[in-house]
Amino acid sequence: MTRLGIIFGGGLLFGFGLGLSDLTRQEVVLSFLYLEDLGLGLTMAAAIVMSMPAYRILASRLDRPALGGAFERFPGLVARNHILGGVVFGIGWGVSGVCPGAALASLGTGNWPMLAGFGGMLLGAYLQGVVAEPAPRPTT
């Protein structure tokens, strides 16, 4: 139960940050994509600058992840499906001005028309699961 509470708290903090920085508003995201307002880029850069040292320090000092499991190395293989998925995600983001995290946080701010976009994301995720081939498991 503690693990779920920590995960919920992290999601709540992330959603609060999206709301505070106005990234739940499609106009803000679209103005970034049109290169009219670079606030979203600055927000991402600040998040990276704050997170990278924490990841480096914690990964070198912890034997296992704080919430259980084990550290695993990602093999770094890029498949055709990764590129195709990134393109589809980018097109959807560019057309709608919404990414999944911001869509969920936007619902929390009372943006009910976002339900249509969020429903589209869920449908796309379901269809991807139906169509996709299972990824090969890395061997160590």
Q: What are the domain boundaries of the chain?
A: 2-131
Query: Strand ranges (DSSP E) for 25-124?
Result: none
Residue 134 has pLDDT above 80, yes or no: no
- Binned at pLDDT 50, 70 and 90, residue 122 comes out as confident
- Binned at pLDDT 50, 70 and 90, residue 49 comes out as very high
The phi, psi pair for 21, rounded to 5°, reads -90, 10
What would the mean pLDDT of 22-49 be, rounded to a whole number?
Answer: 85
pLDDT at 139: 62
The residues near 57 (Cβ < 8 Å, ≥ 6 apart) are none
In whole angstroms, how far apart are CA 32 and each of 6, 25, 101?
Answer: 31, 11, 17
pLDDT at 79: 79
The 10s digit of each residue's pLDDT in 50-81 is 888 888 887 778 888 778 787 777 777 777 87
pLDDT at 133: 67
The residues near 105 (Cβ < 8 Å, ≥ 6 apart) are 14, 15, 16, 18, 19, 23, 24
Residue 137 has pLDDT above 70, yes or no: no
What would the mean pLDDT of 29-47 be, rounded to a whole number?
Answer: 86
- Binned at pLDDT 50, 70 and 90, residue 9 comes out as very high
How large a percentage of the chain has pLDDT more than 70?
94
